[in-house]
Chain A
Amino acid sequence: MSLLESLTSGQNLVLALVYGGIYGLLAVGIVLVYRGSRVLNFAQGEVGTVGLFVAYFLITKQGLPWWVGALGAIATAVAIGLLFERFVVRTMVSATRLSVAVATVGLLLFLLAVEFRFAGESPRTVRGPIDGNGLTLGGVVVSPTQILSLVVTIAVGLGLTLLLRKTDFGLGVLAAADDPTAVRLVGVRLSRVSAFTWGAGAAISALAVLLIEPTIGVFTPGFASELFVKGLAAALVGGLTSLTGAFAGGLIVGLVEIQVGSLTLTSTVPGIPTLSIFALILAVLLIRPAGLFGRAVASA
């Protein structure tokens, strides 16, 4: 495919939007937790995969409606996030952030072990939320799940923005990392803020994983590990602290991955899309370390 064909391909654009939106969602989860606790949560993606296994059980095994499975998945993820926050993160307030990050690696390994023990490695599928062939617009096929995925991405983005910008609690969440004392003074409890970021991050992760699964096809334990790396790249490109930036970063990572992938489909060198994402990370870090949307961090 030539560069022009690839760039103007509607199908590529739709895929880039869908994947980019999912990476954006994962990035938002990463950024929320980072703002709330100054910790990189390595289990961010895998919490969603555990939810996916619950959805599989409810939808594929029990034949329940999709939305029941989705609720089950989200509830499971939120429960894990809240429990971890309450019993690990909150007891480690005075520990170095690296130690807390290592605890999240512990959670990641725990979730993976649970998936392997109870589900095993055989590939599974969860059917999409809506049946049907979807839309065909000028030769571009968009599946119903992909449409829903775009809608949900936008809805989560807008909803979070409203919640964080327009409510006292939301402003407390935004300020928690910068000025904990001020947050306490306006009457927002820091423990609530922390719990909210871990819970919301887990819920968003479960949603993202649920929505991308039909586009990818099948899933096995560790399904989210690659998604997580790309979410991380998206968060970094967006500046690590900015929610808008996280979504924009997701779209950029999605675009780069899909475009490079379609251009190098026949290349004998494997993994060029991954290399290009790494190059993107390096370029952003070296040219604009605060990310495209992050505030410049004052050097103390």
Chain B
Amino acid sequence: MAMQFLASFVGGCLIGLAATVLLIGNGRVAGISGILGGLVARDGARLWINGSFVVGLLLGPPVYRLASGAWPAASVTASLPLLIIGGLLVGFGTRLGSGCTSGHGVVGLARLSPRSIAAVITFMVAAVATVFLMRVAGLS
């Protein structure tokens, strides 16, 4: 258990380091939904910087595999309809809300941005309520 807490903390520090590299190097906030949104909207000026970040992100798990000898655990229990509804809500919601766990959470909270604090409280409450209601309804 203590090892899991440590791995989570060190992993979090790496995420903060990644945000720092992007900020100090390119002047950009490391918001994944914003970066993906830029690609989806065919933002030509940022195509290569956004694209290279996504390629790096995809290389993360294989590099972790090389370093640790095992793939990171991932077990998905959601049914096909829930995967589709959840994906649509996350994609649409993060664009409407101008950010996700990274942009509002990692970067925005560190700035004490009122918009990000409001966004994080909202999506945390919504996510906790959703998990609670699914358990009560016997969906998970």
- Determine if chain A interacts with chain B: no
Interface residues of A (CB under 8 A from B): none
Interface residues of B (CB under 8 A from A): none
